[in-house]
Amino acid sequence: MADTVLVTGISGFIGGHIAAELLRRGYAVRGSVRSPARAGEVRAAMAAVADDALLEIVQLDLLSDEGWSAAAEGCRFVQHVASPFVTAKPKDPDDLIRPAVQGTTRAINAALAAGVDRVVVTSALATVQYAPARKDHLFTASDWTPLEQRGLGAYVTSKVRAERAAWDITERRGARDSLAVINPGGVIGPLLSDDPGTSVTAIQQILAGALPMIPDLRLPWIDVRDVADAHIEAMTAETAGGTRTILATDPSSLIDVAAVLRERLPEVSAKMPTRAMPTWLTWVASIFEPQLRDNRWLIGLAQRFDRGPAEALLGRPLRSIPETIEETGRSLVEHGLV
């Protein structure tokens, strides 16, 4: 009988890829959606890439206790991926922070109550990369973004507080090894549906010519398939219990991303901007553009991240980012999104 894995947020970009890979590996997947209206869309996306015979869809809300115990019951593992993410600045930061923290708390408590072997939580590189550091610092899993740091947005705060809550709960209950955390950077890659996901939107905007110039915003990209594989390996690897794993490459500028797209997808590059945005103008634009505003600390900044633990967990190197950029662009075209 196949082991069952609860995947929260299965309708999202990362959750969908994790669920699809689990199904391909023979696991039974119990995927959660907030709205039952998305169940058909999720099943269709899974059926297109894997056998969905072992797929079950349940309804869970990050802000409600209802259904969590039943969803985790009988599962051997839990993948908690669901978390709120909005590109527009929320009027109230708690619109992001409360569901992130409460959802993680509910997922951890339900998983431990059900006696699962391990719960894997999708955090973010944002919980690492705003740690105070000198130039050329190599960021590792021991680095933490301090909540008291000035200028943190609601999204970064929500991810730090949610991950801290996960560690606090498991440590209080003597179950630290039952938790593994994945901290991905900007997640891109082929789409499973017409929902491009947050980071893929940056590539979509470049191809669509949404900005007159390309900002020197440097992001630590990662292939969504590496993210999915890492979640599954963290679920089963004995050494992954009680660890955080950074999944990120050294940042590539959106200017570099555009160059890859122009070289490899010339047939769809006509609308792409050809000029780089000066750093000073990028800062001005960040006042009005949500994605630039939320990442303004990364404008013109080159950071370095320790990929050793991720590659050890995967048992292979991370995928090539230029190839992932190309595949992302082609996927956007195939889905009619550019």
Residue 208 maps to a domain: no
- Total of domains in the chain: 1
CATH number at residue 59: 3.40.50.720
Residue 76 maps to a domain: yes
Q: What is the C-alpha to C-alpha distance for residues 99 and 280, in angstroms, rounded to an integer?
A: 35
Any idea what the Cα angle at residue 50 is, between residues 82 and 182, rounded to 5°? 35
Q: What is the C-alpha to C-alpha distance for residues 245 and 139, in angstroms, rounded to an integer?
A: 11
Residue 243 maps to a domain: yes
* Per-residue model confidence as pLDDT tens for the chain (338 residues): 899 999 999 999 999 999 999 999 999 999 999 999 999 999 999 999 999 999 999 999 999 999 999 999 999 999 999 988 655 567 788 989 999 999 999 999 999 999 999 999 999 999 999 998 888 899 999 999 999 888 788 899 999 999 999 999 999 999 999 999 999 999 999 999 988 888 899 999 999 998 888 888 889 999 999 999 999 999 999 999 999 999 999 999 899 999 999 999 999 999 999 888 877 777 777 777 766 666 666 776 789 999 999 999 999 999 999 999 999 999 999 999 98
Residue 37 maps to a domain: yes
Question: Could you tell me which residues come within 8 angstroms of residue 76 by beta carbon, excluding any fewer than 6 positions away?
Answer: 3, 4, 5, 116, 117
Residue 195 maps to a domain: no
Q: What is the C-alpha to C-alpha distance for residues 32 and 59, in angstroms, rounded to an integer?
A: 5
Residue 334 maps to a domain: no
Residue 259 maps to a domain: no
Q: Please tell me the pTM assigned to this model.
A: 0.94
Which domain, by its residues, includes 132?
A: 4-188+221-250+303-319
User: Angle of helix 254-264 relative to helix 198-208, nearest 10 degrees?
Assistant: 60
pLDDT in tens, 7-33: 999 999 999 999 999 999 999 999 999
Q: What are phi and psi of 257, to 5 degrees?
A: -60, -45
Task: Return the closest-CA partner of residue 88 out of 96, 99, 100, 78.
Answer: 96
Q: With contact defined as beta carbons under 8 Å apart, do 159 and 96 qualify?
A: no
Order of strands across the sheet with 28-33?
55-59, 28-33, 4-8, 77-80, 118-122, 179-184, 244-247
Q: Which of 89, 135, 159, 271 is catalytic?
A: 159
Burial of 106 (0-12, 13-18, 19+ CB in 10 A): buried
Residue 135 bears catalytic tag: no
Contacts 24+ apart (CB under 8 A), 127-135: 127/156, 127/159, 127/160, 127/163, 127/183, 128/183, 128/244, 128/246, 128/305, 129/220, 129/303, 129/305, 130/156, 130/297
Residue 182 maps to a domain: yes
Token pair belonging to 50: 């894997």
